[in-house]
Structure 1
Amino acid sequence: MSAPGTFPAQMAIGQSTGRWRLYVAIYGIPGSQWPEYVFDGAAVPSVQDRSRALDALGYTFTDTPEWAWSEDYAPGDDPAQPVSLIASAQVREVAS
């Protein structure tokens, strides 16, 4: 769970689009309404690109721009299947 006033930002590659998608998960709001940014191309966005995307969404890192990476497996946990990589970082909304 995030600290009060902070939210988890996550980034993953879309299985159907092949493009990286960064979104801010806001509890109590349906995922279809979360702020999101879709990057062009399939290359992993740089830390600077991710920072600019968060800025465009009105968020900033809570501390340092560190991203934690994890693997997610397809249903059935077949080790022969490719894994999905998910990056996450804690962010806060920028005061307007």
Structure 2
Amino acid sequence: MKEHTAQMSIRGGRWCLYVALMTAPGSQWPDHYFGRTVQVPTVAERSRALTALGFVVVDGAEWAWEEYGETPDDDTSQVRLLASVRVRSRDGGAP
């Protein structure tokens, strides 16, 4: 089973979950926008979004959070959050 990385961050003012498919351009990656910016989508909401996109979290995988500066090498720039988790196709095949 081929694994991929699902990531979630704020895009265009809303939380966006997407699956990074390295065989496709970023503009063609499956994505889901949540309707809010302040509250982080729950694990259950993320799971439902992944299922709707045709993916499930790999057994034993957990969401990991990373923070990074909006401007690299500038510790005064706004901090952004990026969550990621390993996923596979819901039916076990390649997407």
Letter in 1 for 2:4: F
Q: Name whichever structure is richer in strand by fraction.
A: 2
C-alpha contact (below 8 Å) 1:12/1:20 kept by paired residues: yes
Q: Report the Cα offset of residue 37 of structure 1.
A: 0.3
Aligned with residue 74 of structure 1, among 59, 70, 88 = 70
Measure how far apart 1:64 and its partner are: 3.5
Could you tell me how far apart the structure 2 residues matched to 1:37 and 1:64 are? 23
Superposed counterparts of 1:13-92, under 5 Å? 13-14=10-11, 17-42=12-37, 43-64=39-60, 66-92=62-88
- Mapped to 2, the partners of 1:91 and 1:11 lie a distance apart of 13
Name the structure 2 match of 1:7.
4
Q: Is the 8 A contact 1:47 1:65 kept in 2?
A: no
**4+ aligned runs moved over 3 Å, structure 1:** none
Q: Following TM superposition, by how much is the alpha carbon of 1:73 offset from its aligned partner in structure 2, in angstroms?
A: 1.5
Q: RMSD value over aligned CA atoms?
A: 1.5
Unaligned runs of 5+ in 2: none
Q: Which runs of 5+ in 1 are unaligned?
A: none
The CA deviation at 1:85 is: 0.4
Question: Which position in structure 2 is the counterpart of 1:95?
Answer: 91
Q: What secondary structure is seen at the aligned counterpart in 2 of 1:88?
A: strand
Distance 1:65 1:51 in 2: 12
Secondary structure of residue in 1 paired with 2:47: helix
Deviates more, 1:25-34 or 1:63-72: 63-72
After superposition, the C-alpha distances for 1:5-48 in whole angstroms (9 at most, x for unaligned) are 0000000011xx21000000011210000000000011210000
